[in-house]
Structure 1
Amino acid sequence: MNKMVKFMLLLGLIAAIMAGCGTAQNDSGNGTDPDQNEEETATEGQEEKEQTEEEEAEKDSNDEEGDSVIRILEQNMKYTANGEGKEETAFLKHSTNQSYSMYVLPSYELTAEEPNKDVLLLTENDQVFMRIELLPEDADWNMIEENTKAQLGAVNEDVKTAEAPADDFYKEATVMMAEGNGEKVSAYLVKNEDLSIKLTLFNKEDADHEDAFLQMAKTIMKEDPVK
């Protein structure tokens, strides 16, 4: 009897040992080492984070490129001066007084006149020029029109309205003009989606550069203020 009990206990012990070995072998074969799992999870998380950061950086870069406009340094321009058709290369100029750039023909010069006002003048005759004023988005246009009419009234009380040039830049423009004593003064109040501007052109009977000024003016583009 005692031999039988001892034999049964020995069989139970052997079975327990074999079961333990099988479990250890299965765990090793399935790669369920806790330390290894933690390391792999951390690596995968880092890779996903780096990939996300790269995608966000690329998106921000694309957005910035989409919002900014790079202007070439020169462009050909057709215009009329004193009734004579011409074509020349205009060069990109940046206003030092207001936040915009424009293309300027060789015979003209862009310069600051006073705060928030520039003049684009004919180099050989500075009495022929265009005054450029960028206006705030919330400007009172009724008041601006009244003030402009009063300014032109100093040239001639008979201030006339005129049709805007057939160009998208001037499609919403209000145009007024007055003539007297050999002078021709005209004003263009332009209000586009991203630009509000007042242009006042001063020409002479023997020096009419109206079209040249208008061709250059329509290249005006607002820029971010210099910080």
Structure 2
Amino acid sequence: MSKTLKFIITLFLSITVLAACNTEEEAPDSNSATGTAHTEGNEVNDSVDTEEPATDDGQKEEPATADPSENTDTDTDTDSTTASSITFSSNGQSKTEELSPVSGEQYTIQVIPGFSLTPEEPGKDLLSYDEDDSVSMRIEAMTTDDSTFKDLVANTEETMSAINEDYEPYDITEFIGNQDLTNSTAYVANHDNEEVTTVVFEKAEKLVRLTIFDKKEIDLSEALVKMGLTIE
């Protein structure tokens, strides 16, 4: 990627005021409330008559022993992060790859093999293609307390205009699938042999901006977008 393009993108992405991302509000102290509830629960339990029922001959009945062959435990060992897969198009070919969860500072993302997540600064990480790290996706994650979807989109449009005034909307409707997004928008711009795609979406109370740098001969933008949309 040209140094000029890197400089332009870094400059405009830095415009967004995300200082609040670095400040975590202290969570309200819930220990006292929890402790009170726990104590009250003990008092209730103590007041319950736990005497074992007696049989007709006056002897206490032994509690029934569960049959070890019967599994009544509903908490199975099912792994909630079991890898799924994505299917994407690259250079005219359809490919399917398994996904594995990778944790960032403020989120978890599902990633296919051959990509590595590296922290850049608080709230910003870089997902790079191992074979060519110029193909990458910058991830900016924040909450709706830090910014708004509208403001983030406006800043993103300024960035895209600086790359190429003829940037275009990028339709990601087919990529969203069952992702529960409140809002989403995307753009694409070409610069020489490089393609820059930006995606902004809101999910629950989280705002995410993806900035994807791709080369036409590698063509992994669709895969990167689909991985980015899995952020929780």
TM-score, length basis structure 2: 0.60
Count how many residue pairs are aligned between Structure 1 and Structure 2.
159
The ranges of structure 1 where at least 4 consecutive aligned residues each deviate by more than 6 angstroms after the TM superposition are none
Instruction: Specify the alignment match of 2:172 in structure 1.
Output: 164
Q: Which has the higher contact order (CA 8 A, sep 6+)?
A: 2
Does the 8 Å CA contact 2:143/2:205 hold for their aligned counterparts?
A: no
In 1, Cα distance between the equivalents of 2:95 and 2:45? Answer: 65
1:81 aligns with 2:96: no
The 1-side partners of 2:87 and 2:49 are apart by: 55
Q: Which protein has the bigger helix share?
A: 1
What SS does the corresponding residue of 1:109 show, helix, strand or coil? Answer: strand
| 8 Å contact kept, 1:121–1:128 | yes
Task: Please say if 1:91 is aligned against 2:100.
Answer: yes
Partners of 2:47 and 2:124 in 1: CA distance? 55
What value does the CA root-mean-square deviation take over the aligned residues?
A: 2.6
Match of 1:143 among 151, 164, 188: 151
In structure 1, how many angstroms separate the alpha carbons of the residues matched to 2:130 and 2:108?
19
Cα distance in 1, alignment partners of residues 153 and 49 from structure 2: 58
User: Structure 2 vs 1, CA of residues 172 and 142 (structure 1 numbering), >3 Å: closer, same or farther?
Assistant: closer
The answer as to whether partners of 1:189 and 1:199 remain within 8 angstroms in 2 is: yes
**2:127, 2:136 within 8 Å by CA — same for their partners in 1?**
yes
Using the size of structure 1 for normalisation, the TM-score is: 0.62
Paired residue secondary structure (2:218) = coil
Does the C-alpha gap of structure 1 residues 45 and 188 become closer, same or farther in structure 2, counting only changes over 3 Å? closer
In 2, Cα distance between equivalents of 1:90 and 1:130: 16
**AA matched with 2:131:** E
Q: State the alpha-carbon separation in 2 of the partners of residues 176 and 82 from structure 1.
A: 20
Q: Percent identity?
A: 26
Q: Cα deviation per residue 1:67-124 (whole Å; 9 max; x = unaligned)?
A: xx963242233222222211222222111xx221122111111111222101111111
In 1, Cα distance between equivalents of 2:228 and 2:149? 20
Structure 1, unpaired ranges of 5+: 1-43, 51-64, 222-227
Q: What code does the residue aligned with 1:48 have?
A: V
Shift of 1:149: 1.5
Q: In 1, Cα distance between the equivalents of 2:100 and 2:166?
A: 37
Of stretches 202-211 and 169-178 in structure 1, the one that deviates more from structure 2 is: 169-178
Tell me if the contact between 1:164 and 1:171 (Cα under 8 Å) persists in the aligned partners: no
Note if contact 1:133-1:199 (Cα within 8 Å) is conserved in structure 2.
yes
Distance 2:197 2:226 in 1: 15
Residue 224 of structure 2: aligned partner? 213
Cα deviation, 1:136-176, whole Å, max 9, x if unaligned, reads: 21313333222212222232122222323222435731112
CA distance in 1, matches of 2:186, 2:229: 15
Counterparts of 1:164 and 1:106, CA distance in 2: 22
